[in-house]
């Protein structure tokens, strides 16, 4: 039973870490970006509407994004918890998530902030453009997505910070290393993986800035 958010700039490795953590905690990873991409691929009405925004590196409108998250979190597999990757990204989305959680009588356990150097994330995204051929991974669009993150999404960390939910993790370095930093940071907050090596530990010697 865990409800987590992963917030970080494009290219900070959110998607990769989200799937690993979701598996570790036995909850679904819900990525709005993946849901939009699947809809674009399948040519649905939602995909057609979202595509233009995505290709330009703009945010898909809140009304559309909130509706898909509302539906996704109603699904039975998310009833025991979830890990949200790439949502919320705006204040209006924070408000919608607050409403959804309140109506279920649940709340977030933690918000993991992935911290990464902007030049490094641009380098990573340009590499991903070659590896995966994503339409929104050109340099201009990447820079625009980074600017949008700074303007609209980074401020959400203040909202969650004021609620005492944010834990910062250095996102640079080896993927396994970053996963273990996140698990350690969560264990330090009393959130432990079921049956994992941190399950019984009280605190941890490896503290994460």
Q: Is 14 one of the catalytic residues? A: yes
- For residues 75 and 73, what is the distance between their CA atoms, to the nearest angstrom? 5
For 185, the 3-state DSSP assignment is helix
Q: Residue 108 or residue 191: which is nearer to ligand AMP going by CB?
A: 108
The answer to whether residue 72 forms part of the interface with ligand AMP (CB under 6 A) is no
Q: Residue 49 or residue 188: which is nearer to ligand AMP going by CB?
A: 49
User: 167 and 110 in contact (C-beta within 8 Å)?
Assistant: yes
Q: Is 72 one of the catalytic residues? A: no
Own/partner pairs, 94-102, CB within 8 angstroms, 24+ separation: 94/156, 94/159, 94/160, 96/62, 96/66, 96/69, 96/70, 97/69, 100/69, 100/70, 100/73, 101/3
Q: Residue 137 or residue 184: which is nearer to ligand AMP going by CB?
A: 137
Q: Is 99 one of the catalytic residues? A: no
Q: Which stretch binds ligand AMP (CB under 6 A): 54-62, 72-80, 97-105, 158-166?
A: 54-62
> Which residue's Cβ lies closest to ligand AMP?
33
Helix residue ranges per DSSP H, the chain: 14-25, 32-41, 45-56, 62-74, 91-104, 118-132, 139-148, 156-162, 175-188
For 12, the 3-state DSSP assignment is coil
Give 6's Cβ-side CA count (13 Å radius): 32
Choosing from 128, 143, 168, 192, the catalytic residue is 128
Among 47, 53, 101, 109, binds ligand AMP (CB under 6 A): 53
Q: Which stretch binds ligand AMP (CB under 6 A): 56-64, 101-109, 111-119, 163-171?
A: 56-64
User: Going residue by residue from 13 to 42, which x/- string records binding to ligand AMP, judged by CB under 6 A?
Assistant: -------------------xx--x------
Pairing of strands 2-7, 110-115: parallel
Among 6, 40, 60, 187, binds ligand AMP (CB under 6 A): 60
User: 121 and 11 in contact (C-beta within 8 Å)?
Assistant: yes
- For residues 12 and 19, what is the distance between their CA atoms, to the nearest angstrom? 14
Q: Please, what is the minimum distance in Å from the beta carbon of residue 55 to ligand AMP?
A: 8
Choosing from 37, 89, 124, 181, the catalytic residue is 89
Q: Which residues bind ligand AMP (CB under 6 A)?
A: 10, 32-33, 36, 53-54, 57-60, 65, 86-87, 89, 93, 136, 145
Point out the residues that are catalytic.
14, 89, 128, 134, 145
């Amino acid at each position: 039973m865990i409800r987590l958010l992963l917030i970080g700039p494009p290219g900070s490795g959110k998607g990769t870490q989200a799937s690993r953590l979701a598996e570790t905690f036995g909850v679904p990873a819900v990525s709005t970006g993946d849901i939009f991409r699947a809809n674009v691929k399948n040519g649905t009405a939602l995909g057609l509407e979202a595509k233009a925004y995505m290709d330009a590196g703009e945010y898909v409108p809140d009304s559309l994004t909130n509706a898909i998250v509302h539906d996704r979190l109603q699904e039975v597999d998310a009833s025991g918890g979830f890990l949200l990757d790439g949502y919320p990204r705006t204040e209006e989305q924070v408000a919608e998530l607050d409403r959804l959680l309140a109506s279920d009588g649940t709340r977030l356990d933690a918000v993991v902030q992935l911290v990464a150097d902007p030049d490094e994330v641009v380098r990573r995204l340009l590499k991903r453009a070659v590896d995966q051929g994503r339409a929104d991974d050109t340099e201009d669009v990447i820079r625009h997505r980074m600017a949008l993150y700074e303007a609209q999404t980074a401020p959400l960390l203040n909202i969650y910070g004021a609620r005492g939910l944010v834990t910062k993790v250095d996102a640079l370095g080896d993927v396994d290393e970053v996963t273990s930093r996140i698990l350690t940071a969560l264990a330090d907050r009393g959130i432990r993986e079921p049956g994992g090596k941190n399950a019984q530990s009280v605190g941890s010697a490896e503290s994460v800035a």
